[in-house]
Amino acid sequence: MQPVSHQNNYDMKKQLIATIVGGLILFIWQFLSWSALGVHNSEYVYTANQDKILEVLNQNLTEAGTYMVPGVPPGTSHEQAEALMQPSIGKPWASISYHKSFNMNMGMNMFRGFVVDLLAAFLLSWLLLKFSTLNMRVAVQSSIFVGLIGYLTIPYLNSIWFENNSIGSLIDALVSWALVGIWLGWWLPRK
* Per-residue pLDDT reduced to its tens digit, 55-88: 999 999 988 899 989 999 999 999 999 998 999 9
How far is Cα 15 from Cα 10, in angstroms, rounded to an integer? 9
How far is Cα 128 from Cα 3, in angstroms, rounded to an integer? 23
What is the residue-wise DSSP string for 88-108? GTTS--EEEEE-SS-----HH
Q: What is the pLDDT of residues 24-57, one digit of tens each?
A: 999 999 999 999 999 999 888 899 999 999 999 9
Residues 6+ apart with CB under 8 A from 25: 121, 176, 179, 180, 183
101: nearest Cα among 46, 70, 48, 61: 61
Numbers of helices and strands, H then E, in the chain: 7, 2
**Long-range contacts made by residues 4-12, C-beta under 8 angstroms, separation at least 24?**
11/129
The DSSP letter of residue 131 is: -
Cβ–Cβ under 8 Å, residues 142 and 127 = yes
- Average pLDDT (167-183) is 97
User: What does the pLDDT read at residue 105?
Assistant: 80
- Average pLDDT (11-25) is 95
Residue 187, pLDDT above cutoff 90: yes
User: What does the pLDDT read at residue 62?
Assistant: 85
- Average pLDDT (125-152) is 96
Helices 107-129 and 167-187: crossing angle in degrees, nearest 10, is: 50
User: What does the pLDDT read at residue 144?
Assistant: 98
Other beta carbons less than 10 A from residue 4's beta carbon: 8
Residue 1, pLDDT above cutoff 60: no
User: What does the pLDDT read at residue 152?
Assistant: 97
For residues 42 and 119, the model is more confident at 119
How far is Cα 41 from Cα 33, in angstroms, rounded to an integer? 10
pTM above 0.75, yes or no: yes
Worst-scoring range by mean pLDDT, 103-112, 152-161, 169-178? Answer: 103-112
CA distances from 178 to 17, 29, 36, 50, 100 (A): 18, 11, 20, 38, 38
- Average pLDDT (137-162) is 96
User: What does the pLDDT read at residue 106?
Assistant: 87
Cβ–Cβ under 8 Å, residues 153 and 187 = no
User: What does the pLDDT read at residue 135?
Assistant: 97
